[in-house]
Amino acid sequence: MKTRGYRHCTVLAVLFLFWLIPPAMAQSAPGPALDMPRLFGKFQPQLGAWSEYQLLEKASGKATRMRMAIVGQEGGAYWYEVTNDEGDNRNIIKMLVLGNPNEPDNIQRLIIKSGDNPAQEMPRDFVAMGRKMAAHMFEKRSGVPSGSEDQVRLEEAGRHQITVPGGTFDTTFYKILGAEGKLLAEYDAHPDVLPFGVVSSTTDSNTMVLLAHGDDAKSRITETPVVMTTPRGMPEGMPRGMPPGLPGRGPTGGKP
Sequential DSSP letters for the chain: -HHHHHHHHHHHHHHHHHHTS-HHHHTPPSGGGGGGGGTSS-----TT-EEEEEEEETTT--EEEEEEEEEEEETTEEEEEEEEEETTEEEEEEEEESS-TTSGGGEEEEEEEETTSPPEEPPHHHHHHHHHHHHHHHHHHHSS-TT-GGG-EEEEEEEEEEEETTEEEEEEEEEEE-GGG-EEEEEEE-TTSTTT-EEEEEESSEEEEEEEEES----S--SPPEEP-PPTTSPTT--TTPPTT-TT--TTSS--
* N-term to C-term CA, the chain: 29
pLDDT by residue (tens digit) across 55-87? 999 999 999 999 999 999 999 999 999 999 998
Q: Which residue has the higher pLDDT, 136 or 216?
A: 216
- Beta-bridge partner residues of 183: 177
Per-domain boundaries in the chain: 2-31+43-149+215-227
- Beta-bridge partner residues of 218: none
pLDDT at 92 over 60: yes
pLDDT by residue (tens digit) across 130-150? 556 655 554 554 343 445 455
* Average of per-residue pLDDT across 166-195: 92
129: confidence class by pLDDT, cuts 50, 70, 90:
low
